[in-house]
Amino acid sequence: MRDKYDFDVAVIGSGPGGYVAGIRAAQLGAKACVIERAELGGVCTNVGCIPTKALWHSARLMLQIGRAGEYGVDVASHELNYPAVAARRDRIVQRLRGGVKALLASNGVELIRAAASFGDPHSLHLEGEGVGRDLTARNVIVAAGSRPLELNEAPFDHEVVMDSADAVSADELPPSILIVGGGYIGIEFACIYSAFGVEVTVVEAMDRILPGMDEDCARQVARTLKKSGVAVLAGTRLEAIRKDDGGVRATLSDGKEVAAHRTLVCVGRRPDLGGLAIEKAGLQPGDGRQLPVNAHMQTAQPHIYAVGDVVGGPMLAHVASREGIVAASHASGTLTAAMDYRVVPACAFVFPEIASVGLGEEEARQAAEQVVVKKFPFRALGKAHVLGETGGFVKMLADGKTGELLGVHICGPQASSLIGEAALALQLECTAEELAETIHAHPTLAEAMHEAAEGLVGLPVNWRG
């Protein structure tokens, strides 16, 4: 039966959804290949999660060193060496690309460096350097990723008007920048640029920044941005932009103009199906140009799966990886494999960090008759004082009748690490009482989870709740 096809599973794309899918398929006994037209690792490794966090960590160190005197450490002077920052970023990216290649090889997954397009539902045409052939596959998993949305008012020239890939890959910093879009990508860049001494203006059409995240958390970040000198213009749209003396001059919906050396447009991303010829496979994109899928990640053609950004939904690397596991498992014979989006943590690497999982306040009040909400401030935690990072809080929501945790929102130090416990608690349908009865080590930031849970059950000890 296998001889009818070249591969049992062919994966298009090597990002966090694609390479994981290829490996899992091979682990389950399938003859698998991963086809990649660009660099291994996809958007996440090359121009997304990894390089931005490398820059973010350097920015965070800049801010910490600037406060070294508060910790009794005398630092006579410190300055940014951005070429060294960029070189470190590139080393990390290169190392992780190599890691993906090694993982594929060690699991027996064939790596094909080419661009793939459908010839028919079971065949793929490959084009690349030294490659020009067709292959057939019993199952295909599309993991082609996404690309930045472009504004008609500010088309990318990738020099003065940049997308996020341009910004994260740049080897020098502009003196000033206008960021269009106050979502998590735009605000992450705003924090990074500001810490590096760049003059930053953020324009956001919604009435607040980070519109998809908890409002209390967003408000905390907005205060930090204001203190750092970032100009945030919420409720304001970009009307037009023109190049001016090597920079840009933007006209805004309030009639004002903003001048900057560069513009970074971060207004979202869209599935990247370009060049795949999906119509030859009998597929049509949805309204958002995504590939519609069922819980098993199957498209309208049951043997063709789609994972990651091409299916829309939460465009997060960890979601793509889980979708890749589900698709590969189902394609390899585990027919019960299905995607569950109820517990999906999300992080914003801003200052201070934000991390959330589960329902927001409005969603929770729609889902439960009674909702209890409690916040525990980091300023009441010993470890936060030791770190000198006392801003922010842990916010917990629970069902007032059953006590089951409904959502957790963290704004503060190491929020991206703390959210793991919250995700596990929601996955296991923990109650606030069960979390409050769990002993947490002292002194740690994780105690904030325990303290917030104690607040929910009405028995706070270390704060007035």
Q: Is the peptide bond before 443 cis (omega within 30 degrees of 0)?
A: yes
Residue pair 160/248 in contact (Cβ under 8 Å)? The answer is: yes
Count CB neighbours of 373 within 10 A.
18
Residue with tokens 């949305």: 149
Structure tokens at 194: 């500001």
Residue 410 CA to residue 354 CA, distance in Å, equals 6
Going 160 to 161 to 166 to 167, the CA torsion angle's sign is positive
Structure tokens at 58: 């350097």
Buried b (16+ CB within 10 A) or exposed e, 417-426: ebbebbbebb
Structure tokens at 42: 């996809």
Residue 6 CA to residue 442 CA, distance in Å, equals 56
Give catalytic residues, as residue numbers: 442
Residue 361 CA to residue 408 CA, distance in Å, equals 10
DSSP letters spanning 303-350: TEEE-GGGG-S---HHHHHHHHHHHHHHHTT-TT-----SS--EEE-S
Residue pair 51/69 in contact (Cβ under 8 Å)? The answer is: no
Alpha helices, DSSP H only, in 125-229? 164-169, 184-195, 215-227
Phi then psi for residue 113, to 5 deg, are -90, 95
Residue pair 371/231 in contact (Cβ under 8 Å)? The answer is: no
Burial class (CB in 10 A: 0-12, 13-18, 19+), 60: middle
Residue pair 370/399 in contact (Cβ under 8 Å)? The answer is: yes
Please choose, from the candidates 109, 117, 142, 93, the residue with its C-alpha nearest in 3D space to the C-alpha of residue 308: 142
Task: Enumerate residues 6+ apart whose C-beta is below 8 A from 343.
Answer: 357, 358, 423, 426, 427
